Amino acid sequence: MTKKIKILVIAATFFSTIAAVVVTNDKLFEISKNLEIFISVYKELNTNFVDELDPGTMMRTAIDAMTKNLDPYTNFVSESQVESYWINDDEKYQGIGARISIIDKKLMILEPYEGGPAFTSGIKAGDEIVSIDGINIEGKKLEEINAILRGLPGTDLLLKVRPNGKTTIEDKKLIRGEVNIPNVPYSGFVSDGVGYISLTVFTQNAGNNITKALKDLKTKNPNMSGVILDLRQNGGGLLHEAVNICNIFIPNGEIVVTTKGKIKDRDQTFKTLAPPIDLEIPVAILVDKRSASASEIVSGVMQDLDRAVLIGQRTFGKGLVQNTKELPYNSRLKLTTSKYYIPSGRCIQGVEYENGEPKDIPDSQRSKFKTKNGRLVLDGGGVTPDVKLMAKNIYPVTKALVDQNIIYEYVNKYCQNKDSIAKVGTFNFSDYADFTDFLKKKGFKYETEAEAHLKSAKEELEKNASSDLVDEINKLQNKINSAKNNELNQAKAQIIDEIEKEIVTRYYFQKGKVQQSLDDDPEVKEAISILKDNNRYKALLGIK
């Protein structure tokens, strides 16, 4: 290198360092300036505002506004919330092993988990919890009740319970214990030679459980033509279990996911660490818009490596890593510190949010990447399936019946004094007239999204005395009412399906629910078709 070039390099390095220092100083100045402005506003409001203000409330409002503008997963946990936060987040604290909800101001059992403390004590879906360890729970929020229910394993809990359909109250003594909600509630054959495995959550041993399910299927049929892995409605969980599940189908030492953040020294790369179980068996993965986080890692990795065909709808778009930082006065900040990147180099994270949900970004605005075989894939908003299928159309009346817990309440009535029902696959609900009579007695009503908009428009027009337009809106409302009256008949098959799933879950738990939902499942049928057509399977994956 000549003397002149050396001088130019030294000069360039010097000026770039100076520029970096200037940028850093500018940022520090902006931080200092804005903190000073914020403190001044806070002091002025607290001192001079006409009404008395609560400083803690003011500060919480400011902090919440600050974190709200970042992403839905970054939030502040105050000192008063910390105990509940840790109890609900710490695996050493256990509950009663049941889904619960407040319905009509009553604490109801929605579903006891098979083998859990509630199940063992004889508590069933439809039962009402009246008190917990002598504590009156009337008027308490669900998160407060959950904090009371959770405690160290082995500790006693006395519940006063009103069983479904009875007026008397019974004592139920539970012993808190580990609740092993099955992450693989069902596996079996859905067609000759095509296996099916459902994974509902990425909790401990998810990888081992899928491995066991796959081996059991192969033992039953050594000539399996393929396997379906169902990740629909799976919101994710443990990262290492996502790596373990990928490892079942891809070689040892393969990069699965990399985390990258602002602090480069904390970036991490996660690889498969064990010999694979099966590198050859054709795989189809079912995903939908509720498949998130670890589900997206598994489906995205298998797509990037051309190891599985993805079927369904674009996934949720959560590719963020959160950590919790301690703050003064025993408060906490849960914040996003890095993003997940899968083998093609793409990030699955949605780039925009609306009401806490990732916005649907058009494909034209998403960056392009390539799979191992050179297929085009996109980033910036979930994983797009190789075979896109329309999501199941849910009628507004069906959604309302589920959201308002009407189907749950009807099934409570239906299951009274029924010790058993027919086996899954043979059970059918046939008394739809009884259900519609139940709706009439309940006075069931629901409002569609269109009605809500019309109602708002009508109120505005009435303020402005626009009577002609109000009449037009009334005519539209009458048409909507007429359509709603027909909707119970139009949605009959869908509503019966929801009733059957609720009933089956009461007697056969999660395993039965999954089995019941497989009947006439269009995405399962498409997966079977692809796995049985080797040429189509290879073409979708770009295998020549």
Q: Which of 194-198, 255-259, 304-308, 472-476 has the lowest average pLDDT?
A: 472-476
195 shares a domain with 161? no
310 shares a domain with 361? yes
Whether 190 contacts 528, CB under 8 Å: yes
411 shares a domain with 387? no
Give a yes or no: residue 40 inside a domain: yes
Question: What percent of the chain has a predicted confidence (pLDDT) above 90?
Answer: 60
162 shares a domain with 24? no
Helix, coil or strand: residue 302: helix
pLDDT 10s digits, 35-66: 999 889 888 998 899 999 888 888 888 888 88
Single residue among 37, 53, 69 that ends a domain in this structure: 53
437 shares a domain with 330? no
| Mean pLDDT in residue range 166-181 | 88
Whether 271 contacts 339, CB under 8 Å: no
- For the chain, report the end-to-end CA distance as a whole number of angstroms: 50
When pLDDT is cut at 50, 70 and 90, the band that residue 4 belongs to is low
Domain count, the chain: 4
439 shares a domain with 504? yes
φ/ψ of residue 505, rounded to 5: -60, -30
CB pairs under 8 A, 24+ apart, for 271-278?
A: 271/243, 272/243, 272/246, 272/247, 273/243, 273/247, 274/244, 274/247, 276/247, 276/248, 276/249, 276/250, 276/251, 276/252, 277/211, 277/214, 277/215, 277/248, 277/249, 278/214, 278/218, 278/248, 278/249
Give a yes or no: residue 506 inside a domain: yes
List the one residue out of 242, 393, 377, 213 whose CA is nearest residue 310: 377
In sequence order, what are the beta bridge partners of 335? 323
3-state percent breakdown (helix, strand, coil) of the chain, nearest 5: 45, 20, 35
386 shares a domain with 255? yes
221 shares a domain with 136? no
252 shares a domain with 146? no
Look up the CATH number of the domain holding residue 299: 3.90.226.10
339 shares a domain with 241? yes
Calpha distance 116→172 (Å, rounded): 14
List Cα–Cα distances, 71 to 322, 339, 351, 352, in angstroms: 11, 12, 9, 9
Calpha distance 452→318 (Å, rounded): 31
Mean pLDDT of the chain: 88
| Mean pLDDT in residue range 200-215 | 96
202 shares a domain with 342? yes
Q: Are strands 368-370 and 376-378 parallel, antiparallel or unpaired?
A: antiparallel
Give a yes or no: residue 134 inside a domain: yes
- Neighbouring residues of 380: CB distance < 8 A, sequence distance ≥ 6: 346, 347, 349, 350, 351, 361, 365, 366, 367
Give a yes or no: residue 478 inside a domain: no
- Going by the DSSP 8-state scheme, the letter that residue 380 receives in this structure is S
R_g over Cα of the chain: 28
Single residue among 175, 203, 229 that ends a domain in this structure: 175
Give a yes or no: residue 274 inside a domain: yes
- pLDDT of 354 strictly over 80: no
- Neighbouring residues of 494: CB distance < 8 A, sequence distance ≥ 6: 394, 395, 398
Give a yes or no: residue 86 inside a domain: no
212 shares a domain with 302? yes
| Mean pLDDT in residue range 26-34 | 86
Give a yes or no: residue 101 inside a domain: yes
Q: Which of 30-44, 282-296, 346-360 has the lowest average pLDDT?
A: 346-360
- pLDDT of 93 strictly over 90: no
pLDDT given for residue 225 in this prediction: 94
When pLDDT is cut at 50, 70 and 90, the band that residue 20 belongs to is very low
**Half-sphere exposure of residue 365, counting CA atoms within 13 Å on the CB side?**
9
pLDDT 10s digits, 487-542: 999 999 999 999 999 999 999 999 999 999 998 899 999 999 999 999 999 999 99
The domain containing residue 270 runs over which residues? 187-391
Single residue among 126, 145, 175 that ends a domain in this structure: 175
Give a yes or no: residue 415 inside a domain: yes
pLDDT 10s digits, 130-171: 999 999 898 899 888 988 888 888 899 999 999 999 999 999
- pLDDT of 321 strictly over 70: yes
Handedness of CA 314, 320, 321, 323 (dihedral sign): negative
Tokens of 451: 């009605």
